[in-house]
Homo-oligomer: A and B are copies of this chain.
Amino acid sequence: MEPNPVVKGSLTTIILKLLEDNGRMYGYEMTKAVRESTANKMSITEAALYPALHKLVEDGLLTTTSEKVDGRIRKYYALTKQGKKETQSKIQALKEALESVQLILNPKLSNG
């Protein structure tokens, strides 16, 4: 069974969270990390990931450093100061949004 794509709109927050937890990561590493920590149930596609990463750099939330490892280039991303701040609020917002969806999916039965 193929892993599902990420919940729409959550990709940016997921990237920020991964970087908060791991200090610095490169794109391909992020795709593997998500598949692994979700037991292959969810994956982030590279076609969505790279544009999202570029936008985060553009917005000043991430910085990059490139390194050549085993003949291949790795582009490491890390949170800027502003990125760390934004990470907090985005995680908070996503958690609240997910909770709200949970309330719809598992409504309190009010007529008992």
Contact = CB atoms under 8 A, between A and B. Distances in A.
A38 interface: yes
Contacts of A42: 97, 100-101, 104
A94 interface: yes
A27 B9 CA distance: 24
User: In terms of DSSP, what is the predominant structure of the interface of chain A?
Assistant: helix
19 contacts: A4-B93, A7-B7, A7-B97, A7-B98, A7-B101, A8-B8, A10-B101, A21-B107, A34-B104, A37-B107, A38-B100, A41-B96, A41-B99, A42-B97, A42-B101, A94-B105, A95-B105, A98-B98, A98-B101
Given A7-B8, A14-B101, A98-B101, 20 more contacts: A4-B100, A6-B97, A6-B100, A7-B9, A7-B10, A7-B97, A7-B98, A7-B101, A8-B10, A10-B101, A17-B104, A37-B104, A38-B100, A41-B96, A41-B100, A42-B97, A91-B105, A94-B105, A95-B105, A98-B98
